[in-house]
Amino acid sequence: MLFDKRDAQAMAKKLKATLIDKKGKKHDIAVVKYGGKVVGQFGIRRGSGSLGHDYIPGQIHVTTKQARDLVQCPMSFDDWIALMKEKQLIADGAQSASVGLPSKSC
């Protein structure tokens, strides 16, 4: 297992994701917005912290190493946005309009 619940929560915080509590479901949803548009989302399992979250890198359009860098701090929110612009998943002129959790300081 590469990523656990704590890692998923760290990624959500770093990406300023809004957490949506899906009552009665097995996952909460972390929604990442930029420029008023959803640019990524992933589920955070509610169960034990030991449950795997290895699906997240694909859902936020990064490699496993880049996702690890989000958790361990070499990659910032701004770095992730630049990567999404490079991949043309976010328009180059888009401005952040996300309101969510504060970015994790490293």
> 46 in a domain, yes or no?
yes
> Is 95 part of a structural domain of the chain?
no
Its pTM stands at 0.80
Is 62 part of a structural domain of the chain? Answer: yes
Residue 82 falls inside a structural domain: yes
Q: Are 67 and 30 in contact (CB under 8 A)?
A: no
What is the domain extent for residue 23? 5-86
41-79 pLDDT, tens digit each = 999 988 766 778 889 999 999 999 999 999 999 999 999
First-to-last alpha carbon distance for the chain, in angstroms, is 24
Q: What are phi and psi of 28, to 5 degrees?
A: -90, 155
Contact present, 32 and 41 (Cβ < 8 Å): yes
Q: How far apart are CA 48 and CA 15, in angstroms?
A: 23
- Six-digit token string for 87: 């991949």
Is 92 contained in some domain? no
Per the CB < 8 A criterion, the answer to whether 18 and 12 are in contact is: no
Domains: count for the chain: 1
